[in-house]
Amino acid sequence: MIVRPLPRTPLAPRRHPPLPASSPSTDPAASVHPGATPDGQPQEVPLVEIHLQARLQTRFQAPSRPARPDGVARQPGARQREGRRRPHPAARHPVASIPPPAPARPPRRPSATMPPMHDGSNPLLRFVHARGPQPALALDELTLSFAALDELSANVASALARRGLSKGDRAALVLRSSVDGVLCLLGCLRRGVVVVPVNPGYQEQELAHVLADSGASLVIEDEPCPALHDLTARAPVVSSRALLEEGASTLDAADVALHGDDLAMLIYTSGTTGRSKGCAHTVAGLSAGIGALMDLWALAPSDVVLDALPLFHVHGLCVCLLGALSRGACVRLVPRFSPAAVVDGARRGATVFMSVPTMVHRLLGALDDEGASALSSLRLVTCGSAALSADHLRAFEARTGHTILERYGMSETLITLSNPLVGERRAGAVGWAVPGTRVRVVDDELQVSSPGTMKGYWNRPDADAESFVVDGEGARWFRTGDVVTLDDDGCVRIVGRASQDILKVGAYKLSTREIEEQIEAHPAVREVAVVGVADEEWGERVCAVVALREGASLTLAELREHVKLAEVKRPRELVVLDELPRNAMGKVMKSALKGRG
């Protein structure tokens, strides 16, 4: 075994130049997003009701966004049926000047045994009470203050308490990037309920596995999820809006003190070795991992972070959302990525955009001169989750003036490697260890040891034994499975995965075995091997290579209909062979199949 420790990182904390002041929401430009037509007219806003955006001109409205110049509130319009939806709970509070007045209703009674959240007992949530009327969360025309997050997330915590959930219970959050979803997330953390983020695109089999494996006591959704309909026997399902309204009717405090070793989140992997595994992250681990990265990237209250990454993804949830809020920055949500939505966010005052290579590829294909000019106003653009081509990096710099900062992380470890904020950012490299993190290379495989690494896989001691090694000093090292090379000064470059049974599609790491098991059940298929085929936009795409039973036929459309997994896991190519190539031991030679797609 060859062990090569890396040189000391050049990314030690340094003094950064002052950040330019920014106003997160003074640009009156109309929103252009996936729920609007190209001319900006409202078409469909599936994640946050339009009336929510209009009626929250209350004591919760952050002072940085004025009311519409014409003074006319946007109305729900034809898409809202009479009586189908009630106003957002915050809309019940009277309109008042900033700073916010005392609540119209009596304050919550502090619990005799559970100290209030704002006493600093939960390091993940200290920011909620600290910044009062400053802008915290934005989506389209809506901007909520930190005071709003405090009050409304307390409603969720109270509702969870009324439903009998307490510290250590798990709640599955099948949520998109919505305001209600963020409030439910914060409410769970306040109550000490372990957050289990779930991909809303999962099919019934995938959802059933996560619910059963995590032992979730409650499922929270912000939009009806058809795949959950047959799973209500496993755990009750409640809408995010219902929780907000339930909690608004109680006056009791429901915050729970959390300590460093307490479990905060179970983040499920994309399923790189079969069924997905829950990464058990503690309060201390998340706080340390998020804090080190925010210090490195110099996030500050003057920043507005554009979050187009999903909230079930470790980067979108822990870095973009919790990380930015922990530094007093405002987070502008982009529920569904589009180049127009990113440009609009930049025009509205965003200063930081965190992306994945697929987003960069689409931006380059859609940016006109005005859009490129808007993105040039950002102070920082980051990218990760897959390799960014050097051509795309150079093209983005040529169009916007930004050299993208590449980074590296996993659901198990958070972000552990980064190019520097100040200094050379190398094309094709993911940089050096984040301060507090140690990295080493063992037989060409990257291993990391950091305070942000998960405690272990949920109820999977067998997986822990395979994934962790302990050195002679007692340090735990996580085996990433990524093959790397090192520059002379220790800068890390990712070469690929150590296993051909793991695909990297966009931001997801997929298990070929999980997909193969589905395809093997098709009556026309005799044998199958799933491989990754190079894709300019996604990095890799799923290709199914099959040998059919005698007299059988199969089309790609039929195969995709048969595979009951998330869309990203369904084959995009089908290759039919008489026989799959095998080596002398009878093992399918996937390396020989990669060029078939």
DSSP output for 513-536: HHHHHHHHTSTTEEEEEEEEEEET
Angle of the 357-366 helix axis to the 390-400 helix axis, nearest 10: 50
CA end-to-end distance (rounded Å), the chain: 35
DSSP-assigned letter for residue 275: S
Do residues 381 and 308 make contact, with C-beta atoms less than 8 angstroms apart? no
What is the sign, positive or negative, of the torsion defined by CA atoms of 551, 555, 556, 558?
A: negative
pLDDT at 467: 96
- Dihedral angle over CA of 378, 537, 383, 206, nearest 10: 120
| pLDDT for the residue numbered 596 | 61
pLDDT score for 7: 54
* 3-state SS class at 299: coil
Q: Which tokens belong to 399?
A: 């169009």
Give just the sign of the alpha carbon dihedral 231, 234, 235, 236: positive
CB 371 within 8 A of CB 347: no
CB 440 within 8 A of CB 5: yes
Residue 432: CB atoms within 10 Å: 25
Which domains can be identified in the chain, with CATH numbers? 53-70+88-102+116-258 (3.40.50.12780), 502-596 (3.30.300.30)
Kind and range of the H or E run holding 289? helix 283-296
Q: What is the pLDDT of residue 2?
A: 56
Strand ranges in 434-563 using DSSP code E only, listed in sequence order: 438-442, 445-449, 456-457, 468-470, 476-486, 492-497, 502-505, 508-511, 525-535, 539-548
Between the CA of residue 5 and those of 413, 430, 439, 478, what are the distances in Å?
18, 17, 7, 14
SS3 (DSSP) at 121? coil
Residue 477 is predicted with a pLDDT of 98
Residue 597: per-residue pLDDT: 57
Confidence (pLDDT) at 127: 79
Q: Which of 40, 39, 42, 37 is nearest to 79 (CA)?
A: 42
Spans of the chain, pLDDT less than 70: 1-121, 250-253, 271-274, 499, 583-587, 595-597
Inter-residue contact 135 to 24 (CB < 8 Å)? yes
